Amino acid sequence: MVVYVLAAVAAIGVVLIASRLVRGKTDEEPDGPTSGHTGSMLAALFLLAFAIAIVVPWTTIDAARQNTYAESQAVAEAYWSATQLPAPTSGRVQAGLRDYVELVRGHEWELMRDGRLSPDGWSRLEEVRREVTALRTEDDDVREARTAVLDRVREISASRRQRAMDAVTTPPPGLLVMTLVAGLSVVLFPFLTGARPRGRTLVPLAIMSGLLAIGVYLVFDISHVFAGALAVQPDAFDNVLPELRRISAGVG
């Protein structure tokens, strides 16, 4: 942040020095070349910052949503593979996976709005892993099923780690500040150049200001993956529960 401030101060210093050294026609008019150039550049700067501040969270949110479906699918695959394990290990593993899904879609999803995951989620995955690892058998089919379950649990853990990273991922604070400052500059620019809008000229300025305010609010609102207007919902885990019930019913 200090570097950014120093860069801004240096740029302002260059402008002040140039205004002293460069000889030319004095430009004091609100619609003069200086104001026109500055206004167009401020608008371009705001559009650039606004576009980045929208595209980056949108891309992150889309990737996070796909990751939740990958995680839930790994749960379903592990649940199916667990049906090939002998009792009572099979039942305990499936119960552990169901409890994991219920935890994620409920309590943990609330925590993720604050950028946190529940430690109970890791504990439940570890319990499933220990349960499967402790199974000893000479049956080749059971061994294959045990390996398949452990592979799927590793996939669940990897997706969970990615979800933990997504929960704390936000655009750089400087980008959000830049978007806000650029938006304010665009709104206040006519007044800074000495113009005094009155009557009908205030209408388009007011409309533009309102739309800019909505846009800036949207930038801040979508900056978190699991909170805000575009927040990722636990749909993947809601949808996997009926699949788990179908697997249990089919085996039974």
Determine phi and psi for 28, rounding to 5 degrees.
Answer: -120, 0
Question: Average pLDDT for residues 8-20, to the nearest whole number?
Answer: 54
Say if residue 193 is exposed, middle or buried (CB neighbours under 10 Å; 0-12, 13-18, 19+): middle
Question: Average pLDDT for residues 107-121, to the nearest whole number?
Answer: 93
Question: Using only C-alpha atoms, what is the Rg of the chain?
Answer: 28
Q: Of the candidates 182, 192, 175, 211, which has an alpha carbon nearest to the alpha carbon of residue 46?
A: 182
The identity of residue 177, as a single letter, is V
CA distance 51 to 55: 6
The conformation of residue 32, written as its DSSP 8-state character, comes to: S
CA distance 244 to 80: 8
The answer to which of 34-43, 83-92, 139-148, 224-233 has the lowest mean pLDDT is 34-43
The answer to which of 41-45, 92-96, 220-224 has the lowest mean pLDDT is 41-45
What average pLDDT does the chain have?
A: 84
